[in-house]
Amino acid sequence: MAKITLFVILIYSQILFSQIERLKKPSLFFPQEKTQVLVVGSFHFDYPNLDEYKTADSNKIDVLIEPKKTEITELVEYIKKFKPTKIAIEAYPNWNATNKLREYNKGGLRNERSEIIQLAIRIASETKIDTLYSIDCESLIDDLVNSVDSNYFKKLFQDFDSKNEDKLSQMYLDLHKYEDELIKKINLLDYFKYINSEEYHKLGYGLYTVGDFKLSDSRGADILSIWWYNRNLRIFRKLQEINASEKDKLLIIFGNGHASVLRQLIESSPEFEFVEFNSLNNR
């Protein structure tokens, strides 16, 4: 009897396994070859202090002076392992990035501290890429303020000023302060690996779900959707408009605040493959 029972169990297990085996992964319905995308989240080398969090003067570095000058070269060589074919940057079209690339190729702009110059344009020049894609844009709120009753938005944005007592917001502030102090102590490449890690990007995404996001009546959620999240959705749309093929390798260099949202969009996209920054030594 025991042998018969065992036999029945084995037969049932084989039938069940066969049924499971026939299930197709959802991803198999979509292209298996995708455009590879490397997002390099960066701090702003020239410290324009346009972001909400401001870097203290004592924590600022100069990328044109040693040892950071040599570290920039190491960082550039590391990113070049990706072998990009197209480069997109955090700039508006009227910044005329391709013209600036031509100027750089003639020896100009070498003393500009912007990460666009020191990373994107330098990499484009050294890899013989002749075009840069400026994919930054304004958010929906900028359009709405100019076309809808502005009093509505004044009320909506009331108290959306980061002046809250949320303990989680303070923890993010502590993380940012730690980063600022860290950048002077370690090699730039190690710093970029730290701020472009999966763990960091996921926590960076979480930043937008605390603090003023918790304002009453879902105001924080409404603000985030028409402001920051919308801006990154528009940036992603501009990325799609580059019309890269599955053979292309897209390098995106943006402020790291954008990287967490862009990571989520790219990882979920059926047309792009997100490449981990920390994986380039394996290529």
Instruction: Give a yes or no: residue 4 inside a domain.
Output: no
Instruction: Give a yes or no: residue 15 inside a domain.
Output: no
Instruction: Give a yes or no: residue 75 inside a domain.
Output: yes
Instruction: Give a yes or no: residue 7 inside a domain.
Output: no
Instruction: Give a yes or no: residue 18 inside a domain.
Output: no
Range of the domain at 196: 28-282
Q: What is the pLDDT of residue 165?
A: 73
Q: What is the pLDDT of residue 67?
A: 95
Most confident option among 19-23, 30-34, 159-163, 178-182: 30-34
Number of domains in the chain: 1
Overall average pLDDT of the 53-64 stretch: 83
Q: Which residue, among 96, 95, 83, 150, has the nearest Cα to 123 in the 3D structure?
A: 83
Overall average pLDDT of the 132-136 stretch: 98
Instruction: Give a yes or no: residue 8 inside a domain.
Output: no
Instruction: Give a yes or no: residue 10 inside a domain.
Output: no
Strand partners, 254: 41
Q: Starting at the earlier edge strand, list the strands of the sheet with 35-42.
A: 132-134, 86-89, 249-255, 35-42, 272-275
Instruction: Give a yes or no: residue 236 inside a domain.
Output: yes
pLDDT single digits (tens) 153-180? 777 777 766 777 778 877 877 887 887 8
Cis peptide leading into residue 48 (ω within 30°): no
Overall average pLDDT of the 72-76 stretch: 98
Overall average pLDDT of the 39-67 stretch: 85
Please name the residue that has the structure tokens 């970029």: 192
